[in-house]
Chains A and B, each alone.
Chain A
């Protein structure tokens, strides 16, 4: 059982500040600076969680942000990592994945079903219809906490962060790298996942006071920004790195990156190696030096490297009783690394850990050979078994950054092989375990990284030798796997994967690391294989009679560490645009709709009138008197220069170089495939000056392509996008001329300003461009003014028209009015396959021109013939029992789909339901009967008619 020691030099806890909290309904206390796990451990709680599959009791294993079996629900927030998250006063903590609490978990019976749950169980058993039902049951019995659907949204901040050199990892090599890079003039961002800098150097005696000195220099440096409790979750192209802070996501862009990410200590595989109290040696040292915790009262150490002996000395120096150091190696003839009179046993073969009454480890059985080679067994009483048999580099991020790795057999480690420019790997991640060497390596890499950024010469990133002189020492045992006939020899604690699971997978043919991972789920748990991938690969390769050098480890994609959804969702930007007259529409009770990012009035709400009635009233006003609609959302582009007309001739399907000044012409734009892309009205304001509109949603993309084409074609013209800088209103209806004339210096008489004319003048004293438009009515004026003058113009028009019955009208009335006029709306009445001949827009295409965008494809379409045609139709009956139709309802001919409705509306002028749709060519002749299938499956008869539906509106 763990217990709190007297003060340990450099401990992270503040013993003067007690923190009370609740765990599983009972009250506990820790100190400020404790994590949830350390606070519970200090109170003697060993069983902190239950395993994912078998619900076995689990405790602290790595204490390195990877304890996937020790995750808690804290005040309703699931999957909080107890090994790194500080305990907070008054918090309510529960273990996840239990029924009835962690101590008496009722679902622990699942372990006894293990023989019926072989590897690949899901794949084999649940094919077919039964799967969803089984899936729900399995989900109820396993998993990692519950998501609260009613949890409040946290708008976690996101930001960009910039630096010359990003250092990932705040151990001695990372700190040295940060300082030397800063000394070389670089702006440095130093990221450390723990609450304080130091890494493994925190318990390395060799570091001594040096660590404090490094930390002081870093704190004093104005060039180094330090982010603690922050992990780098993914590395992307161009040295973008995702940094996850407790309450912020930073997208960091670095000139160079130094990966000082350290190494993950790897477990030994033997029976019951998952019991609470069995933990990595480095976990014990983290507990000791950060939280002044002894791992137990009788501690055994299972080791295969020097680190295990250093651990023994460290524990004993702090008064912890170490009962034995058990070495897997046969080290007869070598020294005992200075452990003095501590019992040392070599040539150990683990048999099993034994559990005590409370589920935690109480003893360890092992076997040794005597001098004659005869095996002897021993049971060692212990309440903590610390395992230090090897390491694996924390290579995930560096791999994502393009670093390749090779297996170094003498050290039994993967080490960097090739590094992209600007990437550096140092310290334990580079296979360097000596303290002084790590510091020196970090210092050199920091300087090189800074030089890389400023281009001062040393820009090559290269793997460094593990030691400076001498033979690299082995830190990892080549095969610390000791299979037991009764299993429970866990390779992956996240997913409860045992040795036999992997061997069975290989037997079934899943004999590569990638296949093995997917079939067995090895490395697919929350710790993403940090403790299991290497040992799993060792087992795989031994089963295949090969070595670890013969295979690559699995792909390590971002995120290499789980990231909460609140970080990914976070604060979002939802663009919206307001026209100049927005406040007027609001005052008129506009019902808003979003079109192409703009807030537009769908219609204006009238008290005690239905939506349909409001729209009908607005349309009626346009037909009988006048209406005013805000069309500021239209794209508004100008083109200047001697080649302006020729440029438009190449972009649009019509002729514009011959357009007379003061007139407009419909403009139809195709894509390269000859498909209708956009349309608008093009006005010639001067010989070298055109002004034209685009659709609302197409404006930005059209302008972007115009710029591209202008760059490619190198014509003598210049484009200006004035979409947001100009407002536009369409004053439409028979009374429009009467309303507008008193407000403008433009002569509006029919002979002076005929249909399709364009004039420049003033309206209500504001400089204006006025186009004779006929989109919704035969008589109409589209008035374009600078944004700043728009309100004055709107007010003047509304005032001038008040005696005529002028009404503002919205998008829905406009759709109906243009439908009556038979005008198609691009992207509503056309789709991504519609060419202009099919849309009835062939009249706007001048195929005799030398060139326009899409012309070549259009010739092919022309030869091939139409596959559909846009037709107008009138319903033969409506009301009563006739089912209601909707846009996108299908035309049916001979039992087959023969088209669909694209526009539909009730014309008060005609007293009928009218519509347009894309129909098979054989249905396009006026008079043809159209059978339309309503949403409820019933059929409705319509008749194809010529458009416009309303001639003289």
Chain B
């Protein structure tokens, strides 16, 4: 859906994985991933990635991480192998999320109608030193939101439980004032 200064689109096909456990950060570091230092923050997945990369790692809590990777997703494959080997203190989290990207000048207005996070607050805007992620409710659905600064401005990458995907997408599109073509329910993997 694209409507002038607002657009909502499914995220490009990417792979994603969650891991949690007391040794999760240690494993990520050993495999060469960047590990966000603080909970509720994100980082480009690897040092070579810029801030506008689609490959991201988010720290959801002290011992919980979410990773999304594009292309051949070698990093996630490597991680899956390590985790499935039964490494103590590291546990896999299946992530079959529906992923959406909301952007445009009016994006924050749309978000204000569906979520009680102040995405326009200076502390919540993405920048060199600030890379916040939010676990919150949006239209009543638990979501993970990652604001990211791209060449086209701030975009909001949104992930949710795939069973809520059609509802969330249609509701956002409705509030944004445009209709979207129904697509098959499910993840974008």
Contact = CB atoms under 8 A, between A and B. Distances in A.
A787 B189 CA distance: 10
Given A159-B112, A160-B118, A640 B161 contact: no
B141 A575 contact: yes
A917 interface: no
B91 A720 contact: yes
B96 A786 contact: yes
Interface in B150-168: 161-167
Contacts of B162: 580, 724-725, 787-788
B94 A576 contact: no
Contact of B115 (A160, A582, A726, A787): A160
Interface string B17-47: 0101100000000000000000000000000
A788 B112 CA distance: 31
A439 interface: no
Nearest to B138: A573
Given A162-B120, A718-B91, A575 B161 contact: no
A790 B94 CA distance: 14
A573 B140 contact: yes
Interface-central residue, A638, A640, A641, by most chain B CB under 10 Å = A640
B93 A720 contact: yes
B184 A583 contact: yes
Given A575-B141, A787-B96, A718 B113 contact: no
A582 B183 CA distance: 12
B185 A578 contact: yes
Contacts of B18: 720
Interface string A559-587: 00000000000010101111110110000
Contact of A160 (B93, B97, B116, B175): B116
A161 B112 contact: yes
A359 interface: no
Interface-central residue, B94, B116, B161, by most chain A CB under 10 Å = B94
Nearest to B165: A578
Nearest to B89: A641
A681 interface: no
A118 B167 CA distance: 57
Given A159-B113, A686-B86, A576 B167 contact: yes
B121 interface: yes
Given A575-B140, A725-B96, A598 B86 contact: no
A761 to B, nearest CB: 14
B118 A583 contact: no
Interface string A738-751: 00000000000000
A577 B164 contact: yes
A788 B121 CA distance: 36
A578 B113 CA distance: 23
B91 A641 contact: yes
Nearest to A185: B122
B12 to A, nearest CB: 15
Contact of B139 (A575, A718, A722, A786): A575
A791 interface: yes
B2 interface: no
B130 to A, nearest CB: 17
A253 interface: yes
B186 interface: yes
B143 to A, nearest CB: 12
A161 B109 CA distance: 9
Given A578-B185, A787-B162, A158 B94 contact: no
Interface in B101-121: 109, 112-116, 118, 120-121
Given A577-B167, A724-B164, A791 B186 contact: yes
A638 B161 CA distance: 16
Nearest to B189: A788
Contact of A158 (B97, B109, B113): B113
A950 B139 CA distance: 45
Contacts of B167: 575-578
B20 A718 contact: yes
B148 interface: no
B14 interface: no
A798 interface: no
A157 interface: yes
B96 A575 contact: no
A725 B95 contact: yes
Interface in A241-288: 251, 253
Nearest to B171: A573
Contacts of B139: 573, 575
Contacts of A786: 94, 96
Interface residues of B, number: 37
A104 B167 CA distance: 54
Interface-central residue, A159, A638, A786, A791, by most chain B CB under 10 Å = A159
Contacts of B161: 577, 723-725
Contacts of B163: 577-580, 598, 632, 723-724, 787
Contacts of B185: 578-580, 582-583
Nearest to B18: A720
B95 to A, nearest CB: 7
Given A573-B140, A573-B171, A640-B91, A253 B96 contact: no
Nearest to A163: B118
Contact of A575 (B63, B112, B164): B164
A725 B94 contact: yes
Interface string B170-189: 01000100000000111101
Nearest to A580: B186
B28 to A, nearest CB: 16
B91 A726 contact: no
A578 B91 CA distance: 27
B94 A722 contact: yes
Nearest to A791: B186
A632 B175 CA distance: 29
Nearest to B188: A788
B44 to A, nearest CB: 25
Given A575-B167, A578-B163, A640-B91, A787 B186 contact: yes
Interface in B40-97: 63, 86, 91, 93-97
B13 to A, nearest CB: 11
B111 to A, nearest CB: 9
A157 B93 CA distance: 37
B134 to A, nearest CB: 13
Nearest to B117: A160
Interface string B124-158: 00000000000000011100000000000000000
Contacts of A253: 116, 118
Interface in A515-563: none
Contacts of A791: 186
A720 B118 CA distance: 28
A638 B21 CA distance: 13
Contacts of B116: 160, 251, 253
A638 B19 CA distance: 13
Contacts of B171: 573
Interface in A682-740: 686, 718, 720, 722-726
Interface-central residue, B96, B121, B171, by most chain A CB under 10 Å = B96
Interface string A475-506: 00000000000000000000000000000000
Interface string A47-90: 00000000000000000000000000000000000000000000
A574 to B, nearest CB: 8
A251 B116 CA distance: 9
A720 B20 contact: yes
A620 B123 CA distance: 61
Given A573-B114, A582-B185, A788-B96, 10 more contacts: A159-B109, A159-B113, A160-B112, A162-B118, A722-B94, A724-B162, A725-B161, A725-B162, A726-B94, A787-B162
12 contacts: A160-B118, A575-B140, A575-B167, A580-B163, A640-B21, A718-B20, A720-B94, A723-B163, A724-B164, A786-B96, A788-B162, A788-B187
10 nearest A-B residue pairs (beta carbon): A724-B161, A162-B118, A787-B96, A640-B91, A577-B163, A724-B163, A725-B96, A159-B113, A159-B112, A573-B139
